[in-house]
Structure 1
Amino acid sequence: MQPVQYDEGYGPEIGVGPHPLPWPEDERYDPELLAGGDRRNVTDGYRYWTREAVVADLDTRRHDFHIAVENWSHDFNIGSVVRTANAFLAREVHIVGRRRWNRRGAMVTDRYQHVRHHPDTESLTRWAAAEGLPVIGIDNLPGAVPLERTVLPRRCVLLFGQEGPGLTDEARKHAAMVCSIAQFGSTRSINAGAAAAIAMHAWVQRYAEIPDPS
């Protein structure tokens, strides 16, 4: 039995092999990928492109929302949040607190997603205020407004607390509002990565241009 090949260390082999000759004459293409094949976790439209070319193209289309995650105890969900932020084309992801975070869940998407660090929540909110971006906390707290009935601002920062304790008091104090996600079962909270995906999709449903199915 042949051993299973893995895409960048994370899953079964995907992608394409070496590009047939003649190669496309375009500076966006990476000669090494053209020669050896492209097994990266990217959509087919970006096959054989350099990382820099992919990022530059994404930068022309990024959405107006930012994602921020408080990271006080190396929350393992951050990688998943970064991967989802890349999928929904967030403008930036902001890591608040500890600079180091578990990148495995990002599935290498952090190479294409702008990630910024802030030492504490106050520095994040100060940056957001200077950029004219309201900070919207996402947490099931007393007084939170239902996300399902709320129109998120087009330009905003969606802020998430770490798994378990949720948003810090500092985050609650500086948030323009806090939105809750409706739950109907017995659990007290949902996974922070899942909450981030739900909130991003709520933004996308209202503001993103959804392409017609081909």
Structure 2
Amino acid sequence: MTTHGVGPWAGEWPDDPHYDPDLLRHGDTRNVIDRYRYWRMEAIVADLDQHRHPFHVAIENWQHDMNIGSIVRSANAFAADTVHIIGRRRWNKRGAMVTDRYQHLQHHDDVAAFVAWAREAGLPIIAVDNVPGSVLIETFDLPRACVLLFGQEGPGLSEEALAAADAVVEIAQFGSTRSINASAAAAVAMHAWIRAHVPFPKS
């Protein structure tokens, strides 16, 4: 008996290429929404590609930041186009909860390479960091097509990354702490983009 997910398919198997025979036979305990139960991984990625949003997420990875996995998971939840890792190629995937298999990832050796890619793609870089001169994300008009750029826990974004940004925004805070967790900040910023650009029906 499984503690999460679904067991083996009951009844006649569906005649649909989306489905994975092994999952139909043994059950599906993956961290996926019900719509994708029993689907092949490639089929899920192909379906997600039909409705990914036009914002990208980029993360500087100079110190092997433990938050990257959680940021990838949030990017998947909000259907970001691609997550860009700047710096070290390796990162701790535990926090991603396997969502990295369904999320497009791209590596850039350094900030210069990332900026060159963004310029060629025509995407403005929106840095998220609470540094002098930043503006509140709550009052900022986030572009529909853009890259949200995040730094590491503690040091934040590098001077090179901040200098390359088209805008620098910060999240409004009201308590005593100087900053919030990097992965939490990334989730807040992504949701700010969702609030700005995804229409929701009125209840």
TM-score (ref. length: structure 2): 0.97
SS in 1 for 2:73: helix
Q: Distance in 1 between matches of 2:106 and 2:114?
A: 10
The root-mean-square deviation of aligned C-alpha atoms, in Å, is 1.3
SS in 2 for 1:136: strand
User: 151, 166, 189: which one pairs with 1:161?
Assistant: 151
**In the alignment, is the contact (CA less than 8 A) between 1:16 and 1:39 conserved in 2?**
yes
Runs (4 or more) in structure 1 with deviation over 4 Å come to: none
Q: Distance in 2 between matches of 1:124 and 1:210?
A: 33
User: 182, 187, 194: which one pairs with 2:177?
Assistant: 187
C-alpha deviation, 1:211, in angstroms: 5.9
The equivalent of 1:50 in structure 2 is 40
User: 67, 74, 90: which one pairs with 2:80?
Assistant: 90
Q: Given the alignment of the two structures, is residue 100 of structure 1 paired with residue 90 of structure 2, yes or no? A: yes
- Map of 1:127-146 to 2, 5 A cutoff? 127-146=117-136
User: 158, 173, 192: which one pairs with 1:202?
Assistant: 192
- Higher deviation after alignment, 182-191 or 49-58: 182-191
The equivalent of 1:76 in structure 2 is 66
Aligned residue type for 2:135: V
User: 48, 61, 66: which one pairs with 2:51?
Assistant: 61
The one-character-per-residue Cα deviations of 1:100-124 (angstroms, maximum 9, x if unpaired) are 0000000000010001110111111
The one-character-per-residue Cα deviations of 1:98-154 (angstroms, maximum 9, x if unpaired) are 000000000000010001110111111110000000000000010001101001000
SS in 2 for 1:27: coil
Q: Compared with structure 1, are the counterparts of its residues 53 and 163 closer, same or farther at alpha carbon in structure 2 (3 Å cutoff)? A: same
Percent identity at matched positions? 62
Structure 1: gaps of 5 or more residues: 6-12
Q: Distance in 1 between matches of 2:201 and 2:28?
A: 26
C-alpha deviation, 1:209, in angstroms: 3.5
Task: State how many pairs are aligned.
Answer: 203
